[in-house]
Chains A and B, each alone.
Chain A
Amino acid sequence: MKYMLLINSGAIDAEGGAPGCTPEDWMTYDKSVRESGILVDSHSLADLVTATTVRVTAAGERLVTDGPFAETREVLGGYYVIDVPDLDTAIDWAARCPGSLDGGSVVVRPIADFEV
């Protein structure tokens, strides 16, 4: 069963990283995900100031805007897609993720399966 772990950082420090966890913490976590053989896909996202939002109106007009800028404190910073037996296992991996610390959160979303 595949789950996406959406990593939302809490407060962001001047360098754009989440305070409280070090790059080493992330490397350790990433290594353990890879070595356990559950990894399907994973990326971190570039800084939020690089984001662009696209909407298309009913008339077909493109509305392209800078942002979004965080209206809440939580900003999506990256994700993992993992393949594990059940929600409890996915929750364990989410709890071990450095992104769940220090006011951050990890949202666990099952990947929809349309095959059966």
Chain B
Amino acid sequence: MDQQPAESVRASVEAVFREERGLLLASLVRRFGDLDLAEEVTSEAMEAAMIHWPVDGVPDKPGAWLLTTARRRAVDRLRRDKTYAARLAVLQVDASRAEQGEPADVSGGLPDDRLQLFFACAHPALHAEDRGALTLRCLAGFTTPEVARAFLVPVPTMAKRIVRAKKKIREARIPFRVPDVDELPQRLPGVLQVVYSIFTEGYAASSGPELQRLDLAEEAIRLARILRRLLPAEREIAGLLGLMLLIHARRDARTGPGGELVLLDDQDRGRWDRSMIEEGRSLVLVALSGESPGLYGVQAAIAALHDEAADVATTDWPQIVALYDVLFALTPSPIVALNRAVAIAMRDGPEAGLALLDEFTDEPLLRGYHPYRAARADLLSRLGRLPEAAAAYREALELAGTEPERAHLQRRLNAIDPETTCE
């Protein structure tokens, strides 16, 4: 162990901690069956590392050092607090009644118990809005203020939500376990949904001045990579990871120099991340191999067709329409129907697309959904029906959430209706 300057030690402690926190927490939850205790001693081990490593040097196996330290703190705490220990002892007896598999993987001196933590954080018995928050906190190593920033809510609100979720886990006794093989098809989609919601929150924040928060999107990709490693046979995980990579590959082309939104049609495709597209495409092949493709696999295949095309005109629209048909059969949602109609407009012309869109005028889910209004406006403008197009752009403007999206709609409106004074 070499003596290192304090500054670089602090940086490496933080780097190790960021990387290993989820592993550490998962191991401790497995060992003690209690999330609060695991979180507390994880933090204490981190603080101990900050004190000892600058003096003694960074140990050879930092993860193992942190785990040993945290375990020792937990045992000390249980010795001091007999009531707490009694409660945990009951938990342990019950837990041993349930099947406990061996850790799936060993990396960096720490066993990988994170899968059980994923399933607990995304448990259907938790409030839907708490699942992403808990996943970011427990598995991505976010602090509560970081989670609050991720979901654009005040820190005290997020702190309350996390307390509420942890209370439910503790008092209703949501188990830390990986569902059995026959249960997995019902439970895995919930976990994937949480990861994808973190991604979409980062990709297009539903409100606020910043359209893309790339760190969140990258965190979701990192979480999906962990899941893929832990459950390599699950093709929908490949589909989800592929989908996110194929969308994320366009990140640099998606905003212009002034932070304005650039739609797929107008993006400089030379700025797309080719190696990310390649990785995404290989995952699509995995996701679509075998029978009955899943939701994420099909969406990834659609994203891949966009990413492979040199421009909008040469995009394989018939294939995209066919994939939307498959997707609609899997999930007959109005949003999928909207995207399918837009693809049909590209394949058969704006008239055909508009006819389909006008079938949804009474659809409650689309009425307040600005992409629906914007899609109608685009088709009307392509048909030269400019006054109607302008009206539809104004409707979309009233509904759009982020500044860049609003600016984009305003530009479209100005282009067809130069006299508009609408702000």
Contact = CB atoms under 8 A, between A and B. Distances in A.
Contacts of A116: 83, 86-87, 90
A110 interface: yes
Given A1-B94, A91-B125, A86 B175 contact: yes
A16 interface: no
Contacts of B173: 1, 85-87, 110
A87 B86 contact: no
Interface string B22-65: 00000000000000000000000000000000000000000000
Contacts, number: 35
A38 B90 CA distance: 17
Q: Which of B97, B173, B175 has the most CB of A within 10 A?
A: B173
Contact of A86 (B83, B86, B94, B179): B94
Interface in A1-55: 1
Q: Which of A88, A89, A91, A110 has the most CB of B within 10 A?
A: A88
Contacts of B177: 86, 88
Interface string B402-416: 000000000000000
Contacts of B86: 116
Given A85-B94, A86-B94, A110 B175 contact: no
Contacts of B95: 85-86
Contacts of B123: 87
B174 A87 contact: yes
A89 to B, nearest CB: 8
A35 to B, nearest CB: 17
B98 A86 contact: yes
B125 A85 contact: no
A102 B171 CA distance: 30
A8 to B, nearest CB: 17
B106 interface: no
Given A1-B94, A91-B125, A86 B87 contact: no
Given A116-B83, A116-B86, A116-B87, A85 B98 contact: yes
A85 B87 contact: no
B97 A85 contact: yes
A88 B175 contact: yes
Contacts of A108: 172
Given A116-B83, A116-B86, A116-B87, A85 B175 contact: yes
A108 to B, nearest CB: 8
A1 B95 CA distance: 11
A87 B172 contact: yes
A108 B125 CA distance: 10
Contacts of B179: 88
Contacts of B125: 87, 91
B263 to A, nearest CB: 44
A98 to B, nearest CB: 20
Interface string B69-100: 00000000000000100110010001101100
Contacts of A110: 171-173
A87 B171 CA distance: 10
Q: Which of A85, A91, A108 has the most CB of B within 10 A?
A: A85
Interface string A80-116: 0000011111010000000000000000101000001
A108 B124 CA distance: 13
A106 B41 CA distance: 38
Contacts of A87: 123, 125, 172-175
A91 B123 CA distance: 12
B33 to A, nearest CB: 10
A72 to B, nearest CB: 22
Interface string B100-138: 000000000000000000000001010000000000000
A85 B175 CA distance: 9
A2 B29 CA distance: 22
B340 to A, nearest CB: 32
Contacts of A1: 94, 173
Contacts of B174: 86-88
Contacts of A89: 98
Interface of B: 83, 86-87, 90, 94-95, 97-98, 123, 125, 171-175, 177, 179
28 contacts: A1-B94, A1-B173, A85-B94, A85-B95, A85-B97, A85-B98, A85-B173, A85-B175, A86-B94, A86-B95, A86-B98, A86-B173, A86-B175, A86-B177, A87-B172, A87-B173, A87-B174, A88-B174, A88-B177, A88-B179, A108-B172, A110-B171, A110-B172, A110-B173, A116-B83, A116-B86, A116-B87, A116-B90
Interface of A: 1, 85-89, 91, 108, 110, 116
List of 8 A-B pairs having minimum Cβ-Cβ separation, nearest first: A86-B175, A85-B94, A116-B87, A86-B173, A110-B172, A85-B97, A87-B174, A87-B172
Given A88-B179, A116-B83, 14 more contacts: A1-B173, A85-B95, A85-B97, A85-B173, A86-B173, A86-B174, A86-B175, A87-B123, A87-B175, A88-B174, A91-B125, A108-B172, A110-B173, A116-B86
